[in-house]
């Protein structure tokens, strides 16, 4: 198992934040709670999105969530859902693995939230049919969002994008 450090101590999530995920690592919550203002964060895990209001959130976060969505059509649905619940000028933050078809991913990731707050995650994806490559994700994302920031390091990518059509 390879190891990677993901330093998020400079990331601050403020406003109304929606964490869209399949597993709660507690990382998004900790990134939000560092703000001085009132904390307003909601969670959606798996298929639980139908109860949320449209255009309510300032930010949506997918923290290693896309790797659990195996088809492009389901990934497009996740981006459509994020687009619907974001306010005008809302932003989506994505951290995920860069794994193409016929590839595997097996990493131990140390996430630095602050000097005294470090989380460890084991991320494994051995599904040969899942295309979670950064190129595929960017292609799917750009129909609904304009990419503002992109970073790639050692098979992990970060994207910050703003909602289109506002």
List of residues 6+ apart from 90 with CB closer than 8 A? 55, 57, 58, 59, 60, 162, 163
Average pLDDT of the segment spanning 148-156:
94
Domain 12-98+129-163 has CATH 3.40.50.1820: no
* pLDDT tens, position by position, 47-69: 555 556 677 899 999 999 999 88
- What value does the mean pLDDT take over residues 67-76? 92
pLDDT at 7 over 80: yes
pLDDT of res. 23? 75
| Extents of the domains making up the chain | 12-98+129-163
pTM: 0.91
pLDDT tops 90 at residue 22: no
Which distant-in-sequence residues (6+ apart) come within 8 Å of 115 by Cβ?
A: 9
- The predicted-structure confidence for 78-118, as pLDDT tens digits, reads as follows 999 999 999 999 999 999 999 999 999 999 999 999 889 99
> Environment class of residue 121 by beta-carbon count within 10 Å: exposed (0-12), middle (13-18) or buried (19+)?
middle
Query: Mean pLDDT score of the chain, rounded to an integer?
Result: 88
């Amino acid at each position: 198992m390879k190891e990677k450090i993901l330093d998020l101590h400079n990331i601050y999530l403020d406003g109304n934040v929606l964490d869209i995920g399949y597993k709660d690592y507690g990382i998004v919550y900790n990134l939000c709670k560092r703000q001085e203002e009132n904390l307003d964060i909601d969670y959606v895990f798996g298929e639980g999105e139908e109860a949320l209001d449209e255009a309510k959130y300032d930010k949506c976060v997918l923290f290693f969530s896309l790797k659990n969505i195996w088809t492009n059509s389901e990934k497009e649905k996740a981006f459509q859902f994020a687009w619907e619940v974001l306010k005008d000028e809302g932003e989506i933050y994505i951290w995920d693995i860069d794994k193409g078809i016929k590839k595997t991913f097996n990493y131990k990731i140390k996430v630095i939230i602050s000097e005294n707050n470090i989380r460890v995650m084991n991320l494994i994806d051995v599904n040969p049919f899942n295309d979670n490559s950064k190129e595929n994700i960017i292609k799917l994302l750009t129909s609904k969002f304009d990419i503002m920031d992109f970073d790639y390091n050692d098979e992990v990518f970060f994207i910050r994008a703003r909602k289109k059509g506002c």
